[in-house]
Amino acid sequence: MLKSFKIFTYTPPQALVFSTPAESLFFSSLINSSFLTPDPERAHLFFVPFSSSTPNRSLSRLVNALRTDLPFWNRTLGADHFYVSCDGLGFYSDRNLVELKKNSVQISCFPTQRSSFVPHKDVTLPPLADPHHAPVINETKNYLGYVKYGAVKESSLVNELSDDQDFLVERQPSDVLTYEWRLSVSKFCLFEYGEGDVSGIGDAVRFGCVPVVITDHPIQDLPLMDVLRWQEIAVFVGWKNKSGGGAKRLRHLLDLTYGDEKRYEEVRGSCVTAGQHLVWNEEPQPLDAFHMMMYQLWLRRHTIRYARREVA
């Protein structure tokens, strides 16, 4: 892949402005990488660059120009193209936007809005972590669980966990050093998908704090879904009954599943190993987040052409 995979990028209509550091870092890493080719005939995929704030009408004109001025879009109706949009695109009646949304690979930020993510083709950027702070893997775990400020919104569960001395629940944001120490001394890190702030899930993995994700729905937009076996490095907990007693049920589940210390250490070790793939670097390094994103794009280089009647 490193030597053969090639991407052709169209010239952006104006200077690009992205809404998140992860988008900017992905773009700068791509532009300065050996994956780019100036020859579109050698390209496996085509990158459509545009700013996060581009209006839908302008985006439609951009796709229409690709369709009418160049031959590459029409060969697959955009299925061998990709773009970056942190919030993701919705579904519109405009033909150009329909083809871009339905056919092209969307790279968006985790977590996504469910209506803007197509699981079989779209991918998400790992949240940006600070590579200058190497994770300290603490063998001594002071807490069974850690809840970062805002990571769990279910008030009854937060209150119950706060009363349990084995759980560390933040009531206000912590500074970086305190946050990283709390990650390192906790066995599990709790997140509520859909309501809470789940952006810290990558940090939890890197520091060996096994993520416990509270959700009542399948999650299809986790970062690096084609690379990481999330079922082996995280715990997914259903939460249909919110009538109370959540902390006890959660403790029972964790004790039942990971009460054996050997089993827990295996999962924690898998977390730490997987963490290297979630790190962004100013200059991309082997196996880091940028290269894992490129691997996911490489897997999508074999495209499927959609019938025109489906997008008319």
Nearest to 272 by CA among 198, 203, 179, 200: 203
- Residue 163, CA distances (Å) to 133, 187, 196, 245, 302 in order: 32, 18, 20, 12, 53
What confidence score (pLDDT) does residue 130 get? 57
Q: Compare 188 and 308 and report the one with higher pLDDT.
A: 188
Contact status, residue 143 vs residue 186, Cβ threshold 8 Å: yes
Give the C-alpha separation, 267 to 275, whole Å: 12
Average pLDDT of the segment spanning 26-52? 96
Mean pLDDT value of segment 285-306? 87
d(CA 66, CA 96): 10
The overall pTM is greater than 0.85: yes
Tens digits of residue pLDDT in 240-287: 555 556 788 888 888 887 878 899 999 999 999 999 999 999 999 999
Q: What's residue 151's pLDDT? A: 95
Report the distance separating Cα 188 and Cα 141, nearest Å: 10
88 against 222, higher pLDDT = 222
| Alpha carbon 193 to its chain's center | 13
For residue 310, the model assigns a pLDDT of 44
Query: What does the pLDDT read at residue 307?
Result: 46
Alpha-carbon span 102 to 79, nearest angstrom: 8
Report the distance separating Cα 304 and Cα 307, nearest Å. Answer: 10
Q: What gap in Å lies between CA 236 and CA 177, rounded to an integer?
A: 28
SS3 235: strand
